[in-house]
Each structure stands twice: as C-alpha cells, then as structure tokens.
C-alpha cells in the first residue's frame, strides 16, 4: 500500500459498515486519515492504584479488587434494572453500580471470585462509597509478573476522551482508533525537513501515536505542539500562495497626479488628516502604483475615518484615468456613502455639470430600487467614463453594468459579501482592478492573519480630532425598573439640548405574526412562557416599542421607525429627515449598524442588549458621539446579574477599544476553528489550533510559509506539502478562503 492511500482507505473496510455509517453521518469522518485527525478533546487520568479503605471522594480512582457479590435489582415497577456489585480487597469494601443496557456485559463477567481492575469517579450514595458505571479489565493472568504489568499499564494510562455523538460514545471511538492507529506510520509529513529539525518537532507519525495513546502528559504536549503547527503552517502556505499568485496578475498602475482631483480635494479639507490616515493612505498609494493588483484589508475602529482614506484612493485612481466602484451591503448604507462622499467633495463631485469643477468627476449611485430613467443615466455615465466614482449595492454586479475602465473596487463590510460577488465586480475591469476591503469590525491579529490572510492588512486605530468620548452603562430593567425610567429621561434631556437619539431593538415586529396569535392559543402560551421565564419571550420589536414610546415615556417628541422591510424610498426619506434634524428619536433595527452618520445624534438606547453580539453592540454604539457633543449608550437588559450575558454587557460598557472587545468576544465563543464551520459549511480543517490562544504559533507559521513560498512558489521540491495542501483545500474550503 503506498504512503497516501492508507490514509484514503474508507473506514468501512476496517470498521465494518454500521460503525462507518454512524461516523460518516454524525461525525463527518469517512477515511482512515479523517479518524486519525479526530483528536481527543481531553484525557482522564485513571489515577494510581488505591486501597478501598483510602478512596478519596469525587476523584478518578483505580482499584484492584475481587468480586464478593453481584445481584440484579429491579425498580420502577420492574421497568428498570440495576446491577450492584460488591468488591473487596482486604482493606475495605466498595459498591459498583450499573444501570439499564449497561448491566448485561458486567453481569456475565463480574462473577463472585473474579479479580479485576476498576476505574471511575468515587461518590457516596446512601452513605456508601460507590463507583457508577466504572471501566474495568479482568485480570485472569496466571503469571504474577504479567498481572503486575497489566495492572501498571491499566492504572497509569491517560484515557483519551473523544468528541463523540449520541450514537457513538468515546470508548467506542477509542476502539476504532486502535484499529486504524497502525496507519499513522504512513502519515505524509507536510513540513520541510529543515523546518522540522530546526524547530525540534516530533515526527508526524509519532505525534499521531502520542496524541491518541499518550503514556505521559509530556507526550500530549509534544503531540499538540506538532499538530497545531501543521495546521497553522499548511493554512498559511495556502494563503501565501494565494498572495503570491495575486502578485503575478497584471494590473494598471494608478499613480497620483500633481494638481489633480486629489490635490484639489485635499486643499479644500477643513481639517488635517490623522497620522494613521496619512500612514494608511501611503500604504494604499504604494500598492496602487504597482503593476499587480492591490489586495488590502483596511480595518478601522468605528469612526476612525476609513471612508476618507478610501475616497482619497478612489480620487487617485480617477486622476490616473480609471474608475472606482464602492460596493455597500445595504441600500441605506450605499445612499449614506453617496451622500457623505458628494458632500465631502462638493463641486468636485459635479464634473461636467453646470457649476461643477473642471477638475471634478461625476459620482453616481446605483441601487436595485432606482427608477428606470435614473438607472439608465447612471449606466450610461459608467460605460462612457463620465462617472469616475460609482457607489452601489449588489446591483453593481449585474451583467448590464459596464465600465469604461474600472481601476479600483472598494468593498465595505467585506463579511457580508461572498466570493462570487467580489469576483463578479472585479471581472468588469479590462485587467484585474485593485481591491480595497474595509471593515469596522475590529479583528484580532490572529484572525486577520487566518480568515483574511490573503489580504495585506492596514489598521486605523486613531480617532480623528473632534470625536467625542462615549459613556456606556448597563440598565438592569428587571432588577431596577426605575433605571429604565431614568434612561428615557436622559433621552428627553438630550433632545431638550437640541440633540437626537437612536433606540435599537432586535426585531421588527411582524404584523402577520401578531395577527395569528391575537386572542388565540399561541399568543396566550407565548405570554405565559414569557411571564415565567423572560428568556423565552420574543425579543422586543421596533414597531411595538415605537408605539409605547410615542404614547408614554417620549410622548410629544417626534419618534420614527426604520427597518429592513420598509420600501427603500421610505427608508431614505426617514434617514434624510433624521439627518436633517426633523426627527428626534429613531427606533430602528440593526439596519443602522454600519455607516450611518448623523453627528447630531448623541444618545442610543439598545433594548434587549443581551440578544446582540459584542462586536455588534460596539458597532451600534459607534453611531453616537460622532460630533463635538459627548455620546451616551445605554444597554438595557433583563438578564440576571450573574449571567454570562450580563458579563458580556459589562465588558462592552467598560471599554471603547474594539480590538479588546473582539478578543473578549472570541474568548467567549471559543472560536477554535477559524475556517468557521458555520460559515463554510465544510468540515473543519483546524482541530487543534485555537485562534485566540495560539497567536505566536500562527505568526511564526506565517513567517515560515512566506519564506517557503518565496523560494518555491509551486512547491516543486516539497511534494509532501503539495499533497497535504490538496487534501486541505478541497473545492469548498478553497472557496471559503476566497470569501475571506
């Protein structure tokens, strides 16, 4: 059998059809290699041998004893069975108990007079010491030395506990692993020999043996160090090759032009750029000036001025006779970007129009809900090159949209777009356009190096001058209802001072859903459940809260709603009136989470705040404090004071540092698989590596991977690494890497 094929062997051949079927369906394990990479989650220590008289309570113990007595007892009117076994070792007595289907085998084997080793957790029941469902091994060995050896091997071993499922428990998985373990010696080692030796790593076959059947804790550490490194390194090589391939693509270099549109724009700016904006702009301009496409991720705190940096990049491309497209995830955000960019540019955004600047260009908006005439004009402006900048939603990607010369694509909030959408827009350039991806969700360094590893990263972590601090507080609505009343008073005070406020709710409030339940059983049952347990009530809804506020706490103020099911024109109308100051309080869903910019809005009340994620709360909070007046964010929650949900809210209230919050968020979710099972829909390729704990491993692996790919881009001299890469990057996973 050759070295690769033993890993590709179907489990059915070795384990039989029934076990293989359960493994495939419930654990997504199909081959010998899959099972060998199904690592133990933890290890139980059986403990050294203990005399029955000295058993410590609530600890895992191992004893050697003789069966004194065994009997089956019935309970629950004969429907339940229990096997009770009494052991003795001369120092004391101990009871074992087995229930249900687990009684058959021990009932046959644990006969009075038999000697065996037993391992389990010692507990007390009815004032008697007992082990429930212990593992055991019979000692029918005539040779005393052999018996001692068997006892030592059994007692001293670390028991692997595997990620299991209802249909297949850990010990049966361990037995299956025993059957395939000899194949570990055929493992294809992806690490170049020099790297393996240089870092003193255990050979891969040995690491697999040690992780599944460790003799000592040091074995586990050895194996984990090696297997973590492999995962980090193989993924980083895949990303390094992708970056290398991008550098081989041709692109039109777009260099800044003296006295062009960018200079005219900079000259009319009423403020100076922050140091961070200057630094990041230089990184982007350097990339744009090369003859291969830029692939850069720009991450910046809410309000750090990413749009300004992106706009300056777009103006540089227009100066160099190209066009720039900005892709936004929602119509509200596309309209918002269009409005703020045309305002920032002034007459420079009216190229070719009466009163426009002769150095200006046209800035057009393209969304799915535009009228036919406006849409036709926008498409014409793009194909003739009249419009240097277009801002739009996925409508930009449609076949009808053609550019004169697309030079730069800016993607806002990248995580909301799939690879197909990004590539469809990029394919509209005569040559691959430059790409700038922006996100306001702070990403810990390790995640940026893995999830966004095919992009070079720039970080904006300074807030522009004139930004105000935001005070955040948790409002415990259930424990202290008067705090909620005070929250609404604070909103009134802000409005009284000439400012505006947001109220955010997790749900819109579906009329159909309400109607179905009115006076009906469903509504009553829901209400009863909610009264008994607030966790079970549906999240608070925009339409209901807005109605309550108009009639109660905020009566007399102008209160409007904004949510995703409104007609685009109605949404735009509300946003315009809110931006103009005609609306005091906007009750909205998270549709305002990104990009909405109303400097006069100073207060935000987030209802059911515990139903939002940490980074989402941070994003929402970033909508206030955007002007010169200080911001206020109130996180309203009915969660119990000692609950993890409240701990999360307290963490958000305690810091404005998005990177710190993203780390807390990650720690709470323990996101061990950075390829994100939920997002990628494929089996995790990262089983050992955790992005939160293994920053050093990931950073070092990235460095080594870059060096390996620079020296041998096609990995011609590293066939083993090529083989392992091919197995990791099946089609689905490759696409996921593309999506970022």
Written as one string, the DSSP assignment of 391-413 is: EESGGGGSTT---S-EEEEEEES
> What confidence score (pLDDT) does residue 46 get?
56
pTM of the predicted model as reported, rounded to 2 decimal places:
0.65
> What confidence score (pLDDT) does residue 683 get?
36
- For residue 313 the two structure tokens come to 């990049």
Question: Taking the mean position of all CA atoms in its chain, how far away is CA 686?
Answer: 14
- For residue 720 the two structure tokens come to 């083993």
Give the N- to C-terminal CA distance of the chain in Å, as an integer.
38
Residues paired with 85 in a beta bridge: 70, 96
Question: How crowded is the C-beta side of 16, counted as CA atoms within 13 Å?
Answer: 5
Count Cβ atoms within 10 A of the Cβ of residue 534 and give its class: 0-12 exposed, 13-18 middle, 19 or more buried.
middle
> What confidence score (pLDDT) does residue 155 get?
58
For the chain, how are helix, strand and coil distributed in percent, rounded to 5? 45, 20, 35
- For residue 679 the two structure tokens come to 């997002």
- For residue 219 the two structure tokens come to 């074995």
What's the rounded Cα separation, in Å, for the pair 330 and 337?
11
Let me know how long the chain is: 740
What's the rounded Cα separation, in Å, for the pair 285 and 316?
8
Sheet holding 601-606, edge to edge: 470-476, 631-637, 601-606, 500-504, 585-588, 559-562
> What confidence score (pLDDT) does residue 550 get?
92
> What confidence score (pLDDT) does residue 736 get?
46
- For residue 661 the two structure tokens come to 């919050």
Q: For the chain, list residues with pLDDT below 70.
A: 1-5, 44-50, 60, 140-156, 166, 169, 171, 302-303, 352-358, 414-422, 442, 445-446, 451-452, 463-467, 510-536, 593-595, 666-688, 690-693, 727-740
Cβ atoms of 235 and 688 closer than 8 Å:
no
């Amino acid at each position: 059998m050759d070295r690769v094929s033993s890993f590709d062997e179907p489990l059915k051949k070795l384990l039989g059809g029934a076990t293989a079927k359960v493994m495939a369906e419930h654990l997504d394990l199909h081959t010998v290699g899959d099972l060998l990479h199904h690592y133990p989650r933890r290890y139980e220590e059986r403990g050294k041998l203990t005399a029955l008289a000295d058993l410590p309570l609530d600890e895992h113990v191992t004893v050697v004893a003789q069966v004194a007595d065994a009997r089956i007892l019935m309970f629950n009117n004969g429907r339940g069975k229990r096997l009770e076994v009494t052991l003795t070792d001369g120092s004391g007595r101990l009871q074992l108990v087995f229930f249900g289907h687990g009684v058959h085998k021990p009932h046959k084997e644990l006969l009075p007079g038999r000697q065996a080793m037993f391992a389990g957790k010692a507990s007390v029941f009815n004032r008697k010491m007992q082990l429930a469902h212990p593992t055991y091994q019979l000692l029918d060995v005539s040779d005393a030395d052999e018996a001692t050896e068997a006892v030592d091997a059994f007692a001293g071993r670390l028991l692997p506990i595997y990620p299991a499922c209802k249909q297949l428990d850990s010990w049966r998985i361990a037995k299956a692993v025993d059957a395939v373990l000899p194949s570990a010696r055929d493992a294809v080692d992806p690490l170049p020999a020099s790297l393996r030796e240089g870092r003193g790593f255990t050979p891969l076959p040995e690491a697999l043996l040690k992780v599944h059947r460790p003799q000592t804790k040091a074995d586990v550490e050895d194996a984990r160090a090696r297997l973590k490194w492999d995962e980090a390194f193989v993924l980083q090589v895949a990303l390094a090759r992708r970056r290398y391939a991008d550098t081989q693509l041709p692109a039109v270099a777009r260099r800044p032009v003296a006295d062009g549109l960018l200079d005219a724009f900079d000259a009319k700016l009423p403020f100076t750029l922050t140091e961070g904006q200057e630094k990041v702009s230089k990184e982007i301009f350097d990339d744009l000036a090369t003859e291969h496409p830029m692939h850069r991720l720009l991450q910046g705190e809410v309000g750090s001025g990413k749009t300004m940096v992106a706009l300056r990049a777009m103006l540089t491309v227009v100066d160099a006779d190209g066009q720039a497209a900005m892709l936004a995830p929602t119509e509200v955000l596309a309209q918002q970007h269009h409005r703020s960019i045309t305002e920032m540019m002034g007459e420079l955004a009216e190229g070719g129009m009466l009163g426009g600047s002769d150095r200006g260009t046209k800035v057009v908006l393209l969304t799915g809900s535009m009228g036919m005439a406006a849409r036709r004009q926008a498409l014409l402006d793009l194909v003739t090159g009249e419009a240097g900048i277009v801002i739009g939603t996925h409508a930009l990607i449609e076949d009808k949209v053609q550019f004169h010369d697309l030079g730069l694509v800016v993607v806002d909030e990248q995580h909301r777009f799939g690879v197909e959408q990004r590539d469809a827009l990029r394919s509209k350039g005569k040559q691959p356009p430059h790409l700038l991806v922006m996100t306001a969700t702070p990403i810990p360094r390790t995640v940026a190096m893995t999830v966004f590893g095919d992009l070079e990263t720039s970080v904006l972590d300074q807030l522009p001058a004139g930004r105000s601090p935001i005070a955040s507080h948790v409002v415990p609505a259930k424990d202290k209802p008067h705090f909620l009343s005070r929250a609404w008073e604070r909103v009134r005070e802000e409005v009284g001072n000439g400012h505006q406020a947001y109220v955010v709710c997790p749900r819109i409030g579906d009329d159909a859903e309400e109607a179905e339940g009115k006076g009906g059983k469903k509504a009553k049952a829901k209400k009863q459940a909610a009264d008994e347990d607030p966790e079970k009530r549906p999240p608070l809804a925009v339409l209901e809260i807005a109605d309550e506020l108009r009639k109660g706490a905020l009566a007399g103020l102008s209160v409007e709603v904004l949510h995703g099911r409104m007609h685009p024109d109605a949404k735009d109308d509300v946003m315009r009136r809110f931006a103009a100051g005609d609306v005091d309080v906007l009750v909205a869903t998270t549709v305002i989470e990104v990009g909405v910019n109303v400097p006069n809005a100073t207060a935000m009340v987030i209802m059911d705040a515990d139903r939002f994620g940490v980074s989402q709360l941070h994003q929402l909070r970033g909508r206030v404090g955007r002007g010169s007046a200080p911001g206020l964010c109130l996180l309203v929650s009915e969660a119990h004071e000692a609950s993890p949900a409240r701990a999360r809210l307290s963490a958000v209230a305690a810091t404005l540092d998005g990177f710190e919050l993203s780390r807390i968020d990650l720690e709470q979710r323990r996101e061990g698989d950075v390829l994100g099972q939920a997002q990628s829909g494929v089996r995790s390729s990262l089983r050992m590596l955790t992005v939160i704990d293994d920053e050093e491993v990931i950073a070092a692996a990235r460095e080594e991977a870059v060096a390996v790919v620079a020296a041998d881009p096609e990995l011609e001299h590293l066939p083993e690494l090529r083989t392992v890469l091919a197995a990791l990057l099946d089609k689905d996973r490759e696409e996921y890497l593309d999506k970022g």
